[in-house]
Amino acid sequence: MMTSVRMKKILVTGALGQIGLELTPVLRKRYGKDNVIASDIRSPSKNFLNSGPFESLNILNRTDLEEVIKVYDIDTVFHLAAILSATGEKNPQNALEVNLFGVYNILEVSRKLNLTRVFVPSSIAVFGPETSKINAPQDISLRPRTIYGITKVTGELLSNYYYYKFGLDVRGLRWPGIISTSPPGGGTTDYAVEMFYYAVEGKRYKCFVREDTVLPMMYMPDCLKSAIMLMEADLSRLKHHADFNVGGMSFSAGELAAEIKKRIPSFEVDYEPDFRQEIADTWPKSIDDSDARIEWGWSASYNITSMAEEMINKLMKVRNT
Ligand SMILES: NC(=O)c1ccc[n+]([C@@H]2O[C@H](COP(=O)([O-])OP(=O)(O)OC[C@H]3O[C@@H](n4cnc5c(N)ncnc54)[C@H](O)[C@@H]3O)[C@@H](O)[C@H]2O)c1
């Protein structure tokens, strides 16, 4: 990966979530511990607090956000604070508020204070049931059925608006379901992480989607790589800004269970779909990410086999210590 000379002081919002917990240390290693300020509405663990600067921050409080950015002389934001798909469906008003006004506050403060670059992630949840299930295209009409998807489409549009209207360098991509050892935060693809947790603990797992449900997924190291690659990409090469499709791997819940079973033969899964099946059924099975490949050189490193191998090894190691 190319090293950026432009990101000097970084603010991470939602740093205690599934992605923030892993992105923050990677950014600190790359840009310097004291140059990456983590923030969240929740309180951090002692370990996290000792690992670098942390600020308690509700993204809906624009005055506090502005203050933190000024005090630390922030020039770059990775905006991860959000309400995810499954949690969002339980309280749509809250999802709307946090996701829409969170993005709006970040963009507005970044414009006002003339920040260098802002990362606002989107999701495959921007797609709706009308989108072709295989290789969902990059530039199409987006008609999601979930409140989360609606806020993500709006976030993309707002981010692109700030780029074209005000010249704010906002970048974003449509992550698929992220698989990691860090715990997921209420998304529809959480079953793909939970299966590993249960398998390693020797427990039977009740999966909330059907065995034949296929969704696009990505392993955390690829997720972090995609964020950093996009943020370090040469602006002059980008034709898209806040709405890149990115692909990792695609598999059914049953295929993942079988992959885990190869390594933990006693692992068993029951399939009992709940409200999250309906959400999953509106999303594509795979993603066409050719524009990300062309514009900033994207390609995923992990497939289902290498991901499962590494996930089990890491979780076993934690369990045995
Ligand atoms: N995890 C995935 O599979 C996935 C997939 C696609 C896109 N994304 C996107 O990536 C980003 C990060 O997702 P994640 O999985 O880490 O989410 P998460 O739910 O695990 O973490 C979100 C964090 O935001 C914090 N937060 C919530 N409301 C807040 C507020 N008002 N002010 C400040 N912080 C607040 C929460 O405390 C939490 O720590 C989100 O924009 C999400 O939509 C995630």
Do residues 83 and 231 share a domain?
A: yes
Do residues 98 and 237 share a domain?
A: yes
CATH number at residue 238: 3.40.50.720
Pairing of strands 117-119, 170-171: parallel
Do residues 212 and 237 share a domain?
A: no
149 lies in a domain? yes
Mutate to test the pocket of ligand 1, among 57, 84, 126 (most ligand atoms within 8 A of CB): 84
Do residues 158 and 290 share a domain?
A: no
5 lies in a domain? no
25 lies in a domain? yes
Pairing of strands 177-179, 244-245: unpaired
Report the C-alpha gap between 46 and 136 in whole angstroms. Answer: 42
Query: What is the whole-number distance in angstroms between the Cα of residue 204 and the centre of ligand 1?
Result: 28
CB 37 within 8 A of CB 64: no
The residues that are catalytic are 148
* 216-255 pLDDT per residue, tens: 999 999 999 999 999 999 999 999 999 999 999 999 999 9
Question: What total number of domains does the chain contain?
Answer: 2
Do residues 188 and 314 share a domain?
A: yes
Query: What is the whole-number distance in angstroms between the Cα of residue 296 and the centre of ligand 1?
Result: 24
Can you give the residue range of the structural domain that contains 191?
A: 178-216+248-319
2 lies in a domain? no
**pLDDT higher than 50, residue 1:** no
Do residues 227 and 152 share a domain?
A: yes
CB 160 within 8 A of CB 241: yes
C-beta of 40 in contact with ligand 1 (< 6 A): yes
Tokens of 17: 């979530």
C-beta of 123 in contact with ligand 1 (< 6 A): yes
Give the max Cα distance, the chain: 57
- pLDDT confidence of residue 4: 47
Do residues 156 and 260 share a domain?
A: no
Q: Please compute Rg for the chain using Cα positions.
A: 19
Do residues 169 and 285 share a domain?
A: no
Q: Write down the H helix ranges in 3-115.
A: 20-31, 46-50, 62-71, 85-90, 92-96, 102-112
Mean pLDDT of the residues in the chain: 97
Report the C-alpha gap between 247 and 250 in whole angstroms. Answer: 8
Pairing of strands 205-207, 173-175: unpaired
Do residues 287 and 144 share a domain?
A: no
C-beta of 99 in contact with ligand 1 (< 6 A): no
DSSP structure string for 230-273: HHHS-GGG-S--S-EE---EEEEHHHHHHHHHHHSTT--EEE--
Query: What is the whole-number distance in angstroms between the Cα of residue 264 and the centre of ligand 1?
Result: 31
C-beta of 81 in contact with ligand 1 (< 6 A): yes
89 lies in a domain? yes
* 72-101 pLDDT per residue, tens: 999 999 999 999 999 999 999 999 999 999
Do residues 227 and 295 share a domain?
A: no
In the predicted model, what is the mean pLDDT of residues 21-44? 98
CATH number at residue 182: 3.90.25.10
**pLDDT higher than 70, residue 19:** yes
